[in-house]
Amino acid sequence: MTPPASDPLSDSALAASLEGGFASRHADAGPVRLHYVEGGTGTPVLLLGGWPQTWWQWRRIMPALARRHRVLAVDLRGMGASAKPAGGYDKKTMAGDIRALCEALDLGPVHLVGHDIGAMVAYATAVHHPGTVARLALLDVPHPHAGWREMRLLPADPADANAPAGERSATFLWWFALNQVRGLPERLLASSGGMRPVVDWLADYLAADPRALDEQARRVYARAYADPEAVRAGNAWYQAFAADIADAGDHAPVRAPLLALGGRLGNHADLARWAPGAGTDVRVAAVEDCGHYLPEERPREVLAALAGFLD
């Protein structure tokens, strides 16, 4: 059910709260209807987010970007107010959604900035639809690759399962396995009161400063995944990783300039190992004292990196 416009956590109200004249919109992108929030003028920049978040994760950098660019923060297939079809959650198909959105809005070549799942989709878009992408920025996560098949079921150090960012030897990605299970996560969450405990745990575990994901943001994200269909769709992004890894075997390096920007206390190491072979013009950089949620934890540093790259 669509929240009323007076609801302070509705997409329309959240968009209107941002400086820069942002508005909440929908467009048909091929077979799916996608939601996005748009503001600003100039060269288009598309922002693609990750799990378990929505377009709102970009709120701290959207107004500044909109001073020089036409900014569109997009809810991916399965995310937020976008459609949640039964299938199509492999990143190659989702890349087709982004190309179709660009064509529907007559955007021409765009700058793509992706974080987490959005980074995977952004890279797949540059691979499969190179004419769509002028420049590509990937934040903290690479496209799924063969190395992910070697993830440990048990943490190398038991403390890694709960220690905060900066106090563990490695991040224990237990949810990569849980989200593979079809049907169970949504049933468990429905019976236990929803996604808020998951959102809180991930924010506290993956952020160097969990306060960067404030109470309003946590409420927005928890509500976006409160419906079992939203949980099912978000998990489908993970269930498609095997297909994504297989697809990556046919990838040629992208020719669009590529910025790989990781949080030093996040997933920078994996991203930095993968990125040099992912393109022909690659820059690798890190944000210090930052965990996984770069646009929320260190918006000024992210903006500085993007300004030097996009402009």
Per-residue pLDDT tens digits for 270-298: 999 999 999 999 999 999 999 999 999 99
Kindly tell me if the per-residue pLDDT of 176 is higher than 70.
yes
pLDDT-derived band at 6, boundaries 50, 70, 90: confident
pLDDT band at 252 (very low <50, low <70, confident <90, very high): very high
- Average pLDDT over every residue of 206-229: 97
Instruction: Considering only residues 292 and 192, tell me which one the structure prediction assigns the higher pLDDT.
Output: 292
Share of the chain above pLDDT 70, in %: 98
pLDDT at 250: 84
| Mean pLDDT, rounded, of the chain | 96
The residues carrying an active-site annotation are 116, 292
Asked whether the predicted pLDDT for residue 4 surpasses 60, the reply is no
- Long-range contacts of range 189-194, CB-CB < 8 Å, 24 or more positions apart? 189/225, 189/228, 189/231, 190/228, 194/222, 194/225, 194/226
pLDDT tens digits, one per residue of 143-154 = 999 999 999 999
pLDDT at 311: 85
Q: Where are the domains of the chain?
A: 11-243+252-310
pLDDT at 3: 52
pLDDT score at 95: 98
Whether pTM > 0.75 for this model: the answer is: yes
Mean per-residue pLDDT for 230-236?
A: 98
Please give the pLDDT value at position 190: 87
Mean pLDDT (whole number) for 37-52: 98
Domain 11-243+252-310 belongs in CATH node 3.40.50.740: no
The per-residue pLDDT for 300 is 98
Q: Does 195 have pLDDT greater than 80?
A: yes
- The whole-number pLDDT of residue 193 equals 87
Instruction: Give pLDDT, residue 241.
Output: 98
With a cut of 60, say whether residue 56 has pLDDT above it.
Answer: yes
Residue 205's φ and ψ, nearest 5 degrees, are -85, -40
Q: What's the whole-number mean pLDDT along residues 99-117?
A: 98
Selection from 298, 209, 221, 234 nearest residue 262 by Cα:
298
Task: Write down the pLDDT at residue 2.
Answer: 54
Examine the pLDDT at 31 and tell me if it is beyond 70. yes
Q: Give the Cα separation of 118 and 124 in Å (integer).
A: 10
